[in-house]
């Protein structure tokens, strides 16, 4: 795998891990304020925190494997790098939804420009 594809794979997994860590932090904060949540919402927040933890762990695993595996191994091929876009898309979309919610809490609609 040329160094550009290897760098792309590293970038995709690093971005996925960062988004998943942000999501995990948000959901853990929501769990800490559980008294504001209904039981069903608390279960949903726990499930999302678990998914975020799994996505972060997966990305960190692939980041680590890219440093030790030879250049021709499956995680270092172009198709594998392209498939890594899907977890990034999912975690980034959740991060965007969280940011939207946080910004809405900071700027209520009646005070928005």
Structural domain boundaries in the chain: 3-111
Confidence check: pLDDT of 83 > 90: no
Q: What is the pLDDT of residues 22-31, one digit of tens each?
A: 999 999 999 9
Q: What is the pLDDT of residues 40-80, one digit of tens each?
A: 998 999 999 999 999 999 999 988 888 887 766 666 667 77
Confidence check: pLDDT of 107 > 50: yes
Distance CA 105, CA 99 (A): 10
Work out the end-to-end distance of the chain between its first and last CA atoms, rounded to an integer number of angstroms.
49
**What is the pLDDT at residue 113?**
57
Please say whether the dihedral angle defined by the alpha carbons of residues 48, 49, 52 and 53, taken in this order, is positive or negative.
Answer: negative
Question: CB of 45 within 8 A of CB of 110?
Answer: no
What Rg do the C-alpha atoms of the chain give, in angstroms?
Answer: 17
Q: What are phi and psi of 72, to 5 degrees?
A: -90, 0
pTM of this prediction?
A: 0.84
- In the structure, what pLDDT confidence band is assigned to residue 1 with cuts at 50, 70 and 90? very low
Nearest alpha carbon to residue 85 among 2, 3, 5:
5
Joined together, the tokens standing for residue 36 give 């504001």
Q: What is the pLDDT of residues 34-50, one digit of tens each?
A: 777 788 998 999 999 99
């Amino acid at each position: 795998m040329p160094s550009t594809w290897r760098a792309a794979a590293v970038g995709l997994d690093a971005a996925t891990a960062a988004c998943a860590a942000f999501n995990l932090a948000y959901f853990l904060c929501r769990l800490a304020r559980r008294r504001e949540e209904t039981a069903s919402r608390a279960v949903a927040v726990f499930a999302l925190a678990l998914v975020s933890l799994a996505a972060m762990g997966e990305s960190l695993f692939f980041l680590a494997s890219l440093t030790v595996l030879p250049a021709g191994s499956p995680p270092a091929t172009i198709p594998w790098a392209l498939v890594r876009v899907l977890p990034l898309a999912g975690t980034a979309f959740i991060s965007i939804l969280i940011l939207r919610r946080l910004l809405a809490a900071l700027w209520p609609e009646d005070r928005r420009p």
